[in-house]
């Protein structure tokens, strides 16, 4: 029954990326599946029959309940192929009869106001190049060799692939849910056990982490940062207990923290001018990409200088 609970809770939890909550009727009936009293197909029939008998109302409870079941069904099935076609088919299955162009690439460019970006938007993929961009990213990931990497290194690499896949934003709607389901199935195909409740409890954080991994505003000192997505994946794949708080991803919080991060980088360099980027990242518990952004800012503001190149050089405080 534990697996049943995981499937339903993940299906329910992923609705929250659109701030949607399942109906009380769904919660009551899905508890029967969790207890093993009915199958997923039977739950599907119960929910379908329920909405056929209801008058149309101006809320999204029918969509929310049906998509939750479809997510559960997809995750209960271990079949998977790492292809663009599989990615599109997941979207089609989740949203057929709910979204007009289910399974089809969007045909216009989009922007979305984000709370954590003070209503700014991530720059999403150009609709005229969606297919080519997807195929490029998939081919790049297929050719990547994971052999010999530590789990931490694997997670850092995966964070870039997942962030890039989401940023393409292949669909008009349902992009994050489709990405999440695809990622879970992909991680399983790599041998990871992802049957915990991280997606169920932190789907909104997952989406916000994807936003922060794809947003840069140099004027405000904000840079694309994978560290939040890495923290999420570490909890998912390594059973770590990183704090996943949405407020920490807000750019005002990040902007306020940047100065102190820069000062901490300066202190590490002062203590050890030969310190490497990797060691700074480990000391501050941030991503290598973030350290590179911080050191770049410090160099541009003429606070530090790199002497004798990357490999054998050292830092000089100006």
Strands of the chain, DSSP E: 304-307, 314-317
Q: Is the whole-model pTM more than 0.85?
A: no
pLDDT tens column, 4-22? 999 999 999 999 999 999 9
Is the separation of the CB atoms in 35 and 70 below 8 Å?
A: no
The backbone torsions φ and ψ at residue 315, rounded to the nearest 5 degrees and listed phi first, read: -95, 145
Q: What is the CA radius of gyration of the chain?
A: 22
Q: What is d(CA 189, CA 280) in angstroms, rounded to the nearest whole number?
A: 33
Is the separation of the CB atoms in 99 and 108 below 8 Å?
A: no
Q: What is d(CA 134, CA 253) in angstroms, rounded to the nearest whole number?
A: 33
CA dihedral of residues 15, 186, 109, 289 (deg, nearest 10): 100
Count of CB atoms situated within 10 Å of the CB of 148? 6
Q: What is d(CA 113, CA 197) in angstroms, rounded to the nearest whole number?
A: 28
Is the separation of the CB atoms in 180 and 14 below 8 Å?
A: yes
pLDDT value for 259: 53
pLDDT mean by block of 10 residues, the chain; 318 residues: 91 94 95 96 96 79 96 96 98 95 97 94 97 98 96 96 98 97 97 94 97 91 92 96 92 61 85 88 85 87 82 80
DSSP character at residue 206? H
- Tokens found for residue 105: 């690439």
Q: Which domains does the chain have, with CATH numbers?
A: 251-317 (1.10.10.10)
pLDDT tens column, 168-215? 999 999 999 999 999 999 999 999 999 999 999 999 999 999 999 999
pLDDT value for 285: 79
pLDDT value for 56: 66
């Amino acid at each position: 029954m534990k697996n049943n609970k995981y499937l339903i809770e993940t299906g329910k939890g992923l609705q929250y990326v659109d701030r949607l909550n399942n109906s009380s009727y769904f919660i009551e009936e899905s508890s029967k599946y969790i207890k093993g009293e009915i199958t997923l197909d039977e739950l599907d029939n119960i929910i379908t029959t329920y909405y056929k008998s209801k008058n149309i109302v101006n809320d999204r409870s029918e969509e929310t309940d049906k998509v939750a079941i479809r997510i559960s069904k997809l995750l209960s099935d271990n079949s998977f192929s790492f292809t663009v076609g599989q990615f599109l088919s997941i979207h089609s299955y989740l949203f057929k009869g709910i979204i007009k162009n289910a399974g089809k690439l969007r045909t216009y460019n989009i922007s979305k106001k984000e709370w954590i970006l003070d209503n700014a938007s991530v720059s999403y993929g150009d609709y005229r190049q969606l297919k080519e961009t997807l195929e490029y990213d998939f081919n790049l990931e297929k050719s990547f060799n994971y052999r010999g990497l530590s789990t931490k290194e694997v997670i850092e690499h995966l964070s870039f692939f997942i962030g890039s896949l989401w940023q393409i934003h292949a669909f008009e709607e349902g992009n994050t849910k489709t990405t999440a389901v695809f990622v879970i199935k992909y991680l399983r195909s790599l041998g990871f056990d992802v049957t915990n409740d991280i997606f169920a409890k932190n789907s909104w954080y997952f989406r916000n982490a994807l936003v922060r991994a794809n947003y840069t505003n140099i004027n405000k000192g904000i840079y694309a940062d994978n560290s939040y997505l890495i923290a999420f994946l570490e909890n998912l794949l390594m059973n770590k207990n990183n704090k996943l708080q949405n407020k920490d991803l807000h750019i005002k919080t990040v902007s306020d923290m940047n100065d102190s991060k820069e000062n901490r980088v300066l202190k590490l360099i002062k203590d050890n001018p030969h310190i490497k980027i990797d060691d700074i990242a480990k000391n501050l518990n941030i991503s290598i990409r973030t350290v590179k952004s911080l050191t770049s800012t410090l160099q541009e503001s003429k606070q530090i200088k790199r002497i004798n190149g990357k490999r054998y050089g050292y830092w000089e405080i100006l």
